[in-house]
């Protein structure tokens, strides 16, 4: 057990940023009188007193003019204000109507990775008990599902970083695959300063991002691969680890299984073939492998004689890490890509060794906790499988019901949205903390499905693009107005504290679900409105599961204890570092889990000759519904743009600053051209934060990963033309 000594003596006003999973600490100071609240940074291991511009400006949304402070219902085609009784009766009537014709599954629920642990847990419970529906999934399916599937397959457990983020500060070499933390979580970058300064930072990305520039500035490497060839790149690196003599045979023999089969796949990926497919030179491939192999010879290497290597409770010095993020995972073969990244790390002997390892950078604020407690279609609290009889029995006992009352697995996020309004599909949906009109693939198709519903209910604090389509909009509290917990990218459970008073008309989701359960006569007492009571029940429901929170309580968190799950009867002090003795598989060994390389689902052709890829910007977050309303952030990036090489732009008759259309087989996007000579000549890039006819996901295709059901966000065939 460790303590965070640097936390303020008083926790008044102390909370965490509402945006990414780094969960930077901050203090919110309510404004005096009518003055707006102000944010100031606080020290925490993840951010060390830093904030990005999104964090600095987060308080502006608390009293924004666009804030919804009264329920809205659709009357004659328009959303009109009403009281809460009217709005909730409209919702309850829609639920009754949908279930009268479609049974329990006549109603679907779509959640979000920004909900607190308590709300994620209660939403899953409400769906399965109050509604009796199996149809629940959430937007985290489009964030972490490929990494989760691969980690569960290889390690038997999925936690974004199975070590404290501060361990990275001592690394000599770090390979980032599809990650751009300089823009997506800037305070994280300081943990890579050591590797960057040592010339050991390697960034694999089709674009020369700010993170890739940081690597090059320090003498590191930028692997500018062709979009959609991530698995090929990793196979080629694994091949070079083996033939270059960098394998760790004692680690492989003692701690892994399946290497021979994996080598059967990687053996064919000769360096020259990898270069031809990916566009990354043999010299860069060889240098990357050499850097990772050299980096692990710091503390944590089996050959290192420094006593610190055997001290599991303090940071090891040196070592190598392989880290993945959305650029590697948001593919129709994303779980295979991550499986190949894990295989590379296993071949080098990194996971479960102090000072080295594999991890993935969780995206959303509660992306980790949000997928552990029941929002996913196939899960129960504690990261239990909904098809496991023992898991069903345990959770049913906590909930006081017969296991037979618990529905089975539902549909993944896109499949769920695509079923809406169909003859056998749900006719009502509740959406919480998500904006699929902007964030879903093949977005116009999703809009059509949402419009086909009899009843669409959206709970939000601004009128997002999805809320604008709703039949009922329920105004909810924001991050600084609620109590609860979240779980950050390293599996650390954190306290979110109420620091300001919400508007009189806003309500907490826990209250909403309790009210709906009462109106539906589904036992409102089973859905408490006190978040602390919900957490205590969550802890009991998670006991003995992979994500065990049973020894965590709010008092321990408020006292400043740093508690990483699993934290239960066998690990009451928490588990900052996983896999030191064994992996969570039945035999305790990590599995090499490789399969064949699959090309992107939609290759370019004469009609659509370019590869379109999407990503995030420093100024904005996710669907942009929040950040596009913040003055400073909107001024920094006010409109949609497309990044292209000047040669590509000229071929379409365009120049820098010209209005353009990017067209795919599913739709088109209007954008302003940004010419960049560092871009690949076969690729254009679009940020996905904008609404209207600037929605990048109008272009993307919903080809799904067979394991994770992740859509193919990162590669689609497009053409560029004048607007």
User: Which domains are assigned to the chain?
Assistant: 2-63 (2.20.25.90), 72-143+366-564 (3.40.50.740), 145-361 (3.40.228.10), 610-722 (2.40.40.20)
Provide the pLDDT for residue 34.
65
Query: Which of 660, 680, 656, 683 is closest to 670 using CA atoms?
Result: 660
The tokens describing 225, both together, are 């691969």
> To 10 degrees, what angle do helices 282-295 and 271-278 make?
110
Please, which residues have CB within 8 angstroms of residue 310's CB and are 6 or more apart in sequence? none
CA distances from 404 to 132, 377, 395, 400, 401 (A): 11, 17, 11, 12, 8
Query: Which of 515, 13, 18, 596 is closest to 268 using CA atoms?
Result: 596
Query: Which of 717, 604, 600, 602 is closest to 667 using CA atoms?
Result: 717
In angstroms, the CA 422 to CA 246 distance is 54
Please, which residues have CB within 8 angstroms of residue 523's CB and are 6 or more apart in sequence? 129, 130, 517
Which H or E element spans position 177?
strand 173-177
Provide the b/e sequence for 32-67 (b: ≥16 CB within 10 Å): eeeeebebebbebbbbbebbbebbbbbbbbbbbeeb
Provide the pLDDT for residue 310.
41
DSSP 127: I
Q: How many Å is the Cα radius of gyration of the chain?
A: 24
* Longest CA span, the chain: 76
Helix (H, G, I), strand (E, B) or coil at 374: coil
Asked if residue 363 has a cis previous peptide bond (ω within 30° of 0), the answer is: no
Chain centre distance of CA 423: 32
Query: Which of 448, 446, 393 is closest to 415 using CA atoms?
Result: 446
Beta carbons within 10 angstroms of residue 77's beta carbon: 5
CA distances from 315 to 167, 170, 328, 351 (A): 6, 8, 28, 15
**Surface-to-core class of residue 591, CB atoms within 10 Å of its CB (0-12 exposed, 13-18 middle, 19+ buried):** buried
Please, which residues have CB within 8 angstroms of residue 633's CB and are 6 or more apart in sequence? 53, 54, 57, 619, 620, 627
Backbone angles phi, psi at 57, to 5 degrees: -100, 10
In angstroms, the CA 49 to CA 47 distance is 5
CA distances from 711 to 39, 252, 313, 717 (A): 36, 33, 39, 15
Q: Are strands 641-644 and 668-675 parallel, antiparallel or unpaired?
A: parallel
Assign 3-class secondary structure to 295-358.
Answer: HCCCCCCCCCCCHHHHCCCCCCCCCEEEEECHHHHCCCCHHHHHHHHHHHHHHCCCCCCCCCEE
CB 480 within 8 A of CB 59: yes
Which long-range contacts does 516-520 make (Cβ < 8 Å, 24+ apart)?
516/88, 516/91, 516/92, 516/95, 516/126, 516/130, 517/126, 517/130, 519/88, 519/89, 519/92, 520/92, 520/95, 520/96, 520/130, 520/131
DSSP 504: T
Q: Which residue is listed with tokens 């606080």?
A: 42
Provide the pLDDT for residue 317.
56
The tokens describing 60, both together, are 């502006």
Query: Which of 685, 695, 710 is closest to 625 using CA atoms?
Result: 695
CB 625 within 8 A of CB 462: yes
Backbone angles phi, psi at 625, to 5 degrees: -60, -30
Q: Are strands 201-204 and 221-223 parallel, antiparallel or unpaired?
A: parallel
- pLDDT, one tens digit per residue, over 358-411 is 999 988 999 999 999 999 999 999 999 999 999 999 999 999 999 999 999 999
Q: What is the pTM of this model?
A: 0.95
CB 446 within 8 A of CB 438: no
In angstroms, the CA 57 to CA 511 distance is 28
**How would you classify residue 453: left for phi > 0, otherwise alpha for psi between -120 and 50, otherwise beta?**
beta
Q: Which residue is listed with tokens 């520039």?
A: 213
The tokens describing 102, both together, are 């479609």
CA distances from 405 to 128, 384, 392, 399, 667 (A): 8, 17, 10, 11, 43
In angstroms, the CA 299 to CA 307 distance is 9
Q: Which residues of the chain have pLDDT under 70?
A: 1-12, 33-34, 298-317
Please, which residues have CB within 8 angstroms of residue 378's CB and are 6 or more apart in sequence? 385, 386, 387, 409, 410
The tokens describing 198, both together, are 């040592």
The dihedral through the CA atoms of 286, 287, 289, 294 has a sign that is positive
The tokens describing 443, both together, are 């977005």
Assign 3-class secondary structure to 648-713.
Answer: HHHHCCCCCCCEEEEECCCCEEEEEEEECCCCCCCEEEEECCCCHHHCHHHCCEEEECCCCCCEEC
């Amino acid at each position: 057990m460790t303590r965070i000594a640097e936390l303020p003596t008083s926790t008044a006003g102390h909370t965490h940023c509402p945006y990414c999973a780094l969960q930077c600490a901050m203090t919110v100071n309510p404004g005096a009188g009518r003055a707006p609240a102000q944010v100031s940074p606080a020290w925490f291991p993840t951010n060390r007193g830093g904030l990005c511009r999104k964090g600095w400006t987060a308080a502006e949304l608390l009293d924004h003019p666009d804030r919804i402070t009264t329920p809205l219902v659709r009357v004659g085609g328009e959303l009109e204000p009403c009281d809460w009784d009217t709005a909730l009766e409209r919702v309850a009537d829609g639920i009754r109507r949908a279930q009268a014709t479609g049974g329990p599954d006549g109603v679907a629920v779509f959640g979000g990775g920004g909900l607190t642990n308590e709300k994620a847990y209660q939403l899953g419970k409400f769906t399965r008990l109050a509604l009796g529906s199996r149809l629940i999934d959430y937007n985290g399916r489009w964030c972490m599902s490929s990494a989760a599937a691969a980690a569960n397959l290889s390690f038997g457990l999925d936690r974004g970083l199975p070590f404290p983020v501060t361990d990275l500060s001592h690394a000599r070499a770090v390979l980032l695959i599809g990650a751009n933390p300089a823009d997506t979580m800037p305070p994280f970058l300081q943990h890579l300063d050591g590797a960057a300064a040592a010339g050991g930072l390697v960034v694999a990305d089709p674009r020369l991002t700010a993170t890739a520039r940081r690597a090059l500035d320090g003498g590191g490497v930028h692997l500018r691969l062709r979009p959609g060839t991530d698995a090929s790149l990793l196979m080629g690196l694994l091949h070079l680890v083996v033939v270059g003599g960098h394998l760790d045979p004692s680690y492989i023999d003692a701690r892994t299984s399946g290497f021979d089969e994996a080598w059967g796949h990687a053996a064919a990926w000769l360096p020259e073939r990898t270069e031809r497919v990916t566009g990354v030179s043999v010299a860069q491939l060889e240098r990357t492998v050499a850097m990772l192999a050299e980096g692990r010879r710091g503390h944590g290497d089996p050959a290192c004689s420094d006593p610190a290597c055997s001290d599991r409770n303090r940071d090891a010095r040196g070592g190598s890490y392989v880290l993945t993020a959305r650029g590697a995972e948001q593919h129709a073969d994303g779980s295979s890509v991550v499986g190949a990244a894990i295989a590379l790390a296993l071949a080098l002997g990194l996971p479960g060794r102090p000072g080295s390892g594999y991890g993935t950078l969780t995206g959303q604020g509660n992306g980790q906790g949000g997928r552990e407690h029941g929002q996913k279609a196939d899960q129960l609290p504690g990261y239990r499988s909904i098809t496991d009889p023992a898991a069903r029995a345990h959770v049913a006992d906590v909930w006081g019901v017969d296991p037979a009352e618990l529905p089975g697995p539902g549909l993944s996020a896109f499949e769920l949205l695509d079923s809406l309004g169909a003859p056998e599909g749900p006719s009502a949906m509740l959406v919480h903390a998500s904006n699929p009109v902007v964030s879903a693939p093949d977005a116009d198709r999703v809009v059509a499905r949402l419009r086909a519903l009899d009843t669409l209910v959206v709970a939000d604090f601004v009128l997002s693009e999805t809320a604008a389509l709703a039949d009922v909009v329920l105004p909810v509290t924001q991050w600084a107005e609620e109590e609860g917990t979240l779980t950050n990218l390293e599996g650390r459970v954190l306290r979110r504290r109420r620091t300001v008073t919400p508007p009189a008309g806003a309500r907490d989701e826990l209250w909403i679900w309790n009210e709906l359960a009462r109106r539906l006569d589904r036992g409102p007492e089973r859905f408490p409105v006190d978040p602390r009571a919900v957490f205590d029940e969550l802890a009991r429901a998670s006991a003995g599961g992979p994500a065990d929170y049973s020894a965590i309580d709010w008092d321990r968190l408020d006292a400043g204890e740093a508690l990483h799950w699993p934290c239960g009867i066998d690990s009451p002090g928490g588990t900052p570092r996983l896999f030191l003795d064994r992996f969570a598989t039945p035999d305790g060994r990590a599995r090499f889990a490789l399969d064949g390389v699959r090309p992107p689902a939609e290759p370019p052709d004469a009609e659509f000759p370019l590869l379109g890829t999407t990503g995030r910007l420093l100024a904005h977050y996710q669907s942009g519904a929040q950040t596009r309303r913040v003055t400073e952030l909107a001024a920094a990036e006010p409109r949609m743009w497309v990044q292209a090489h000047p040669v590509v732009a000229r071929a379409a008759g365009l120049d820098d600053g010209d209005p353009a259309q990017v067209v795919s087989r599913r739709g088109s996007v209007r954008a302003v051209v940004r010419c960049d000579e560092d871009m690949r000549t076969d690729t254009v890039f679009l940020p996905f934060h904008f609404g209207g006819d600037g929605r990048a996901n109008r272009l993307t295709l919903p080809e799904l990963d067979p394991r994770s059901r992740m859509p193919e966000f990162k590669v689609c065939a497009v053409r560029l033309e004048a607007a």
